[in-house]
Structure 1
């Protein structure tokens, strides 16, 4: 690293986008990661699609229990 950096020609906010949505990374335990990758491979789908389908199914299940109570 340099001792000093010259930002005199810098442009404030050049990379700022107010409407950007940040997606948080999710870190899985190795056994869960292996299981999901294998299942996605067996079904010929991407891991992202498989996980989203599982989560949506669980969301529906949770909502049905909420409505029942």
Structure 2
């Protein structure tokens, strides 16, 4: 059995070699990179769906030719 620095023993049947630890909690769903917004920007959006909608709108605007002409 393995002893950790705290003195606890880990049973041999527990395989923790692929264990991943996250500070975000179990409710966080990750399907890509985590992007952090500055606090003043985050106040403008109630949730991640609103952020995605706004960014998609800006992407669409950027693709339009002669928009600023």
- Give TM class, smaller chain: 0.3 to 0.5
Which structure has greater strand proportion? 2
TM-score, normalised by the number of residues in structure 2: 0.45
TM-score (norm 1): 0.45
